[in-house]
Each structure stands twice: as C-alpha cells, then as structure tokens.
Structure 1
Amino acid sequence: MDAQDRLDRPVAARHGWRAGLLLLARNPAGSIYGTVLADSVLAVEAERQTTLRDLIYAELVTVIIYWLAHVYAEFLGSQQGVGRRGWPRRLAETMSHEWSLVTASFVPLLAVLLASAAGASVQTASLAGMWTGVGALVLWGEIAGRQSGSGTWASLAYGLVSGAFGVALILLRVLLLH
C-alpha cells in the first residue's frame, strides 16, 4: 500500500485510537504551532502574572490574535483564482482549517487549570502545562508523520523533534528566571 492509498483511507482506519485526537486537530501542523505558542506564553507570562486569571487571559488573547494573523496571512496567500464571490467561502475554509492552532493551545491550558485546582502555584501550574505541551507536541508530530505516510520510526522521530521545541521553551523559561 503506497502513501496515497493510506491517505485515501478514512481517518479512523488510518489512525485507530488516535482518530479522536486527529479530529480535534485536523491540522497537526497547526496543532504544533498552537502548542508551541501556548507553551511560549506560559514560559514568559507565568513569572509576570500574579493570578491564574491573568495568565489564562494572556494566553487566550495571544492565541486568538496569533490565529487571526495566521488566518489573514494564509488567506492573502491563497487568493489566486478566487473571485469576488468566492472569497467568503475561502476565508471560512481557512479559518476552519487553522482553528487547530487554537484548540491545541487548550491542552497545556487544561493542565494549568488542573494543577491550579490541585493547589499548585501559578508558576508550578504553568510548568505542568508546559510539560503537558511537550507530550502533546510529541503526539502532534507523530500524527503529522503518520499523515504524511511516514513509517513508525520516522513518525516517532517527527514526534521527538516536535517535543524538543517544548523542551527548548522550558529551558528558555529556566534561563529567564536566572
């Protein structure tokens, strides 16, 4: 079975238990961007924000602004051949496709909320969110590798490289604190 045949199969047949995750993140590349963005905000803002509410607000606003800018850039770059009547549909398609950038940012944010509910400080909760983001990045990278038709080992390598971005952000946070 070649790569195209694998891509033509239904999502559930290609990814098994990961099908639900893939539906959450139809666009693994956008999910990687969204998770890296969320971890970046957590790395920088956790030390500046004194309340959980301020941290969550900073992350959500940043992610939405970044998503809108990303949609705008993608939309502008894809206008070739779209007539005056076709642009609203194209804009909606772009917004929908890139929405995974936003939904993926909820994964680290959920970990922050759970850690905070368990009594962690804002700084500790943000670190829990960042480590959760590392795990999510590994998963998104692995899914992207599978979607591209790569084998198990190559997909795992994609996942590990994606996770390395999250680890780099945690190291950045450590450097910012000292």
Structure 2
Amino acid sequence: MTGGGEGSTGAVRAAVAQRAGLVLRAYRSESAIYGVILVSALIGIGWNEDTDLEVLGFTLGTVLVFWLAHVYAGAIAREEAAAGETRWRSIVRAVRASAAHSMGLLLAMVLPIVFLGLSALGVLDEYVGYYLALWVGVAVLAVIGWTASARRGSPWGFRLLSAVLTASLGLIVIWLSALVH
C-alpha cells in the first residue's frame, strides 16, 4: 500500500470519528434526553389502540414539529448581530446554532423509529416492534446516565446507579403515558 492510500484512509477515519463524536455529544444533550422521553411517551400513548404505521407517523410528525419549535425558539433567543454582520447572516447563524444544539431531539427517535418501521413493514410482529421501540428508549437513557456519571469520574457503582435512575425516568414516563391515555 502506498503512503497516499494510508493518508486517505486516515482522513476517512478521522472524518468518521469526528462525525461519531458529534452524534455522541448530541445524544448526551438535554434535547436528546427530552427527545427520548418524548418519543417513549408518544409510543406509549398509541401502542395499544393505533396501528404500528399510525404510531410511526404520529411519532415522526410530532418530533419534527417539536424540533422545529425548538429551532425557532433557539434562533429567536440567540439572534444578535455581531459587529459588522448583516441581519440575514445573524439570523442564519442563530438558526444553524439552534439546529445543532437541538439535534439530539431528532437523534432520539432514530432507534425507536427503526423498530416501529420494521414492525410496519411486517418484519417484526406489531407488539414486538412496540416493545422494542419502548425498551430501546429506556436502554438509551441508561447509557446516557452511565456515560454522564463516567464523565464526572464516578466509580462504577455510581455509574450503575445513575444508569438505573435515568432509565427509571423513562419507565415512569411510559407508565404515566399509558395510565393517562
């Protein structure tokens, strides 16, 4: 292998690592935690009465609307023109910053939507798809809790406690959503 090939492979690896880092940072944001809870609540509301395709559409639509509302609110809150900056440039900068900040809300629905989609396509049984979509949200919350505790340098016992408490929040939301609806 030539040196040029190794360099391009290294550049690809660096680009992939950079994108993976962005995704991981988005998953540990408050918008991702809120998104996981929101998606779990939406699935918990519809799983007993609606078809898997209806729950999938309802979840996608609702999360997209909430994300747009977050982007709009964040852009309004951030919009300040820097010295010499045009009004449109400051608006675009505020929208981009807000969209990046709230990206976790969109990422939060990816895994549950995969299972709902497989169920809607008939690959999974309807109830298996629902349960997997709900439990993957709980698992994501557990991972978020574990990694947040690990970032603070906590010993494994506190990491486990953080994971259990964070996942329990997801379980409580799912239970409350089912109870209310």
TM-score by structure 2 length?
Answer: 0.71
Aligned equivalents of 1:21, 1:142: Cα separation in 2:
18
Match of 1:133 in 2: 137
Aligned equivalents of 2:58, 2:149: Cα separation in 1:
31
Match of 1:143 in 2: 147
Aligned equivalents of 1:102, 1:34: Cα separation in 2:
7
Aligned equivalents of 1:94, 1:20: Cα separation in 2:
18
Superposition deviation, residue 62 in structure 1:
0.4
User: Is the Cα contact below 8 Å between 2:63 and 2:106 reproduced in 1?
Assistant: yes
Match of 1:160 in 2: 164
Match of 1:73 in 2: 73
Superposition deviation, residue 173 in structure 1:
4.7
* Number of aligned residue pairs: 157
Q: Percent identity?
A: 24
Which structure has the larger Rg? 2
Match of 2:25 in 1: 26
Aligned equivalents of 1:72, 1:129: Cα separation in 2:
28
| Structure 1 residues 174 and 93, CA gap change in structure 2 (3 angstroms) | closer
Match of 2:12 in 1: none
CA RMSD of aligned residues (A): 2.8
TM-score by structure 1 length?
Answer: 0.72
Superposition deviation, residue 120 in structure 1:
1.5
Matched, 1:104 2:108: yes
Residue ranges of structure 2 left out of the alignment (5+ in a row):
1-17
Deviates more, 1:80-89 or 1:104-113: 80-89
